[in-house]
A and B are shown apart, each in its own frame.
Chain A
């Protein structure tokens, strides 16, 4: 691993230190880095002068594997990238290959896909909230968040048999019909959920200590965010109202009404508020979708053996963490020539240095938490 990574244009000289500067290594085993992330910090006393992320501890060669699997065989692998929000990964991949094939999932499949993806968004944000609060020292929200997440995972399990790495969708639509109590389960969850979000807000949003720990911490300006390619709630909290569900609608999102929350200052507190509001909006989408699931086939006519015509396609979706993109190149055979993934956490992690410079060491934990990274996605 080479040390001389360019960092905002200026290479860190790890061998030449100023008088008071020290190098501190955080991770790869650390309770707060949320995975195997190693961060090399250059500190002056308590202030962070620069950070250097050393990744790759979870690299499994997923993209290389794709070149040696057929399109359907590769689908379970994408779940393992962002293992916290597996359903979104699956959605992105299936839609990409459908674009390559020139096929389209039938309306019923699109609506069920939307419902499951929005439930997954809520689950991902719940996990983020619980662990972020835990890092900052609030011991209780994590248990409440996992209690709600449990309900969602039960729905997934009843639907496709798996809680975490779901492989819920197939190329061309869905494999499984929705189970009998699907609508009632989702409706019951959505009805309970807004009260629960209010509970989390009571614990945290107006809490002086929470505000003191998150306001003004890890500020990312709009210009910086755009320049770094940051997407998702981080970009929206920095002020730009950009959501792929509205900008380039996919699945069934164009049929539903929902708002895109944005923040003003781009600090940790704004990102917290944006994600909380996103959970409420996801619930809103779910409620609208559940009212009216169209009947019909769940699978398009794509045939058993998939041989897309040669060509390339880039398709991206709004995953809970940001823009998740797949760039698939087909050479006419049953195995893709190349599948390149644009993981949102990988790109968002680049903003860590910008946000952490000048912050105190104790804030670094909050900043890493607010970036909402999943190392499976960063490393693939």
Chain B
């Protein structure tokens, strides 16, 4: 097959295909993440969520997209037309461009830059312009203030996020996303078990980076100042929304690659084999998981009230069995070559899914931070904590390398203990009441 492709464009074939798949699939995926959020929110709030459009509301995103496309395109009077058009495009473009350096598997990656991580962070910071220009071009005082607040929040938490990533980078030794995952494979442990506090800092910062609750004051409906998206209706608003969910997936991808082992399965260093077979025990996990889900769906079939829902549930079970078969098939010799790719994609998706699920879970559980409390948390808790984290991790690495200290578990425990102590101290500092504010505090 490879002799059919002229050598000039051969290096571009795989990336272009990956790119097309991403750009075509992602908007649909984002729509389904929205549906997932609504269903999860409903489940946690003791209700059902969208149920009408399609079985269990599964066609809801399609209906929503259609509705948004046929809505009237309203441009506020006095708005800067060019910027108004361009701002949502900037947000979406930057979000999609960041996917180009994201490793979904050992093969499925558009470009393995050797500064891949920094590239994604850089492009993420460009996404701020979509917000700021959108708020400014709406010609509304409240949109502008909301946009500037949102941008200030993003910039503040970017610092903490970056520092948290540095603590994992110290262990990986390279900025290339592939190399980072490879380092975790070589060391046989996901980095979250070595720098858990770094993961925690990154987790909190990423929630603030994507403007999600509890850090969503700039976009909350019940506040006086409505957000930068106010004047956007119809599909332009859908683009902003798409950008927000794309950002969620990107930060999930970064966290997965750096802390959760990317496309590696749990215990990547453990090569125990199934007795008498050449397969590794843990490689059977994906198939077993899918089979488990299929059995659960089958057990739910009798409880469905309507025939169509029974059939649907059985269909879902069948699809899970099919996927389990695919996962198991790649263990056998003719399809061995695809094993890393397929299993890698599965594990990556599973971890990103878990991370996004936690985002959604946090949204429905916690109240919202007030803006000054939000900034205080970022600057006076997370950034000092992240700085100390980098120092402590570096010190630990130096000690391990120079003094031949070969007990990684002990050093992990010690560094975590130190970091927890610092974290609690900082939290106590933050909980003390602020000194009386000056009589007129300007914005």
The interface of chain A, by Cβ under 8 A from chain B, is: 20, 24, 26, 31-32, 44-47, 133-140, 143-144, 147, 203-204, 207, 209-210, 212-213, 216, 360-365
Contacts and interface: CB of A to CB of B under 8 A. Distances in A.
Interface stretch (B62-70, B87-95, B287-295, B361-369): B361-369
Given A133-B367, A143-B46, A362-B370, 12 more contacts: A20-B440, A20-B442, A44-B441, A137-B222, A137-B368, A140-B44, A140-B364, A143-B47, A144-B46, A207-B366, A209-B366, A212-B369
Contact of B371 (A212, A216, A362): A362
B224 A26 contact: yes
Interface string B34-68: 00000001001111000000000000000000000
Contacts of B371: 362
Interface stretch (B76-84, B127-135, B213-221): B213-221
Contacts of A139: 41, 45, 213, 363-364
B381 to A, nearest CB: 11
Given A20-B440, A143-B46, A31 B224 contact: no
B366 A138 contact: yes
Given A143-B47, A144-B46, A360-B372, A138 B223 contact: no
A45 B442 contact: yes
Contacts of A44: 440-441
Nearest to B41: A139
A32 B442 contact: no
B400 interface: no
Contacts of B44: 140
B373 interface: yes
B276 interface: no
Interface string B150-164: 000000000000000
Contacts of A45: 440-443
B363 A32 contact: no
B334 interface: no
Contact of A210 (B223, B363, B367): B367
Given A45-B440, A46-B443, A363 B366 contact: no
B217 A362 contact: yes
Interface in B196-238: 213-214, 216-217, 220-225
B426 to A, nearest CB: 13
**What 6 A-B pairs come out closest when comparing CB atoms?**
A137-B368, A143-B45, A138-B367, A137-B367, A136-B367, A45-B443
A375 B370 CA distance: 27
A57 B223 CA distance: 22
A147 B42 CA distance: 13
Given A31-B222, A143-B45, A212 B442 contact: no
Nearest to B438: A47
25 contacts: A20-B442, A24-B224, A26-B224, A31-B222, A45-B442, A45-B443, A46-B441, A47-B437, A47-B440, A133-B367, A137-B213, A137-B220, A137-B222, A137-B366, A139-B41, A139-B363, A140-B365, A207-B366, A209-B373, A212-B373, A213-B367, A213-B368, A213-B373, A364-B224, A365-B224
A217 B136 CA distance: 32
A32 B222 contact: yes
Contact of A209 (B369, B433, B440): B369
Contacts of A364: 224
Contacts of A136: 367-368
Nearest to B44: A140
A207 B365 CA distance: 10
A44 B368 CA distance: 23
A365 B368 contact: no
Contacts of B441: 44-47
A204 B365 CA distance: 9
Classify the secondary structure of B's interface with A. Answer: loop
Given A139-B45, A216-B433, A207 B224 contact: no
A47 B439 CA distance: 9
B374 to A, nearest CB: 10
Interface residues of B, number: 32
A183 B441 CA distance: 57
Nearest to B376: A212
Contacts of A32: 222
Contacts of B365: 138, 140, 203
A363 B367 contact: no
A213 B373 CA distance: 9
Nearest to A138: B367
Contacts of B225: 361
B224 A361 contact: yes
Q: Which of A136, A139, A216 has the most CB of B within 10 A?
A: A139
Contacts of A135: 222
A20 B223 CA distance: 21
A336 B372 CA distance: 54
B303 to A, nearest CB: 22
Contacts of B45: 139-140, 143-144
B367 A207 contact: yes
Contacts of A134: 222
Contacts of B367: 133, 136-138, 204, 207, 209-210, 213
A137 B370 CA distance: 10
Contacts of B372: 46, 360
B47 A365 contact: no
Contacts of B373: 209, 212-213
A26 B223 CA distance: 10
B43 to A, nearest CB: 11
Contacts of A20: 440, 442
B439 to A, nearest CB: 9
A137 B433 contact: no
Contacts of A143: 45-47
A140 B45 CA distance: 6
B223 A365 contact: yes
B220 to A, nearest CB: 6
Nearest to A366: B370
A361 B217 CA distance: 12
B442 A31 contact: no
B312 to A, nearest CB: 26
Contacts of B47: 143
Q: Which of A24, A45, A137, A210 has the most CB of B within 10 A?
A: A137
Contacts of A216: 433
A143 B222 CA distance: 17
A79 B402 CA distance: 79
B100 to A, nearest CB: 35
Contacts of B366: 137-138, 207, 209
Interface string B381-415: 00000000000000000000000000000000000
Q: Which of B44, B370, B442 has the most CB of A within 10 A?
A: B370
B364 A31 contact: no
Contacts of B440: 20, 44-45, 47
A44 B363 CA distance: 32
A362 B395 CA distance: 42
A255 B319 CA distance: 65
A31 B221 contact: yes
Contacts of B41: 139
A365 B363 CA distance: 20
A207 B213 CA distance: 14
B131 to A, nearest CB: 20
Contacts of A213: 367-370, 373
